[in-house]
Amino acid sequence: MEKLNIKNLFDQLRKDEKSDIQTLELIKGSRSFLIAELKAGKTLSAHYHNEGSEIYHILSGRGKMEIGTLSGTKVIWKEHFDVTPNDLFEVKDRVVHRLSNDGDENLKIVFVTPPSHLGEDRIFI
């Protein structure tokens, strides 16, 4: 068994090839446990996943999560909410979502997701 300290792992994040977020997968299996960071002023572009939900836990920073549906090639934004430290929420499969960091500090996140969400099952709009 391996014991990890999340706080000490943020300096090992890797830039995502398709977006502005940086991630590090800590545990991989039927569900992946990842840490991520979205720099101040950056946005994780609108996207969705076909299979499985994502569970987010905000560790630090502030931002905005937007939730919508796809109508043809256009997103119909239905709701948005501010995210702050200690917030926990789930984004269901096939739900378009976009995370923005409009604060002045980096947004640090822990999330649990199917392993495919950072690969073949991430459809950007």
CA distance 10 to 31: 20
pLDDT in tens, 29-45: 889 999 999 999 999 99
Neighbouring CB atoms inside 10 A of 83's CB total 22
Taking the C-alpha atoms of residue 73 and residue 84, their distance in angstroms, rounded to an integer, is 30
Per-residue pLDDT at 124: 94
Q: Which pTM was predicted? A: 0.92
- Report all structural domains of the chain as residue ranges with CATH numbers, in order of start: 15-124 (2.60.120.10)
Tell me the pLDDT of the chain averaged across its residues.
95
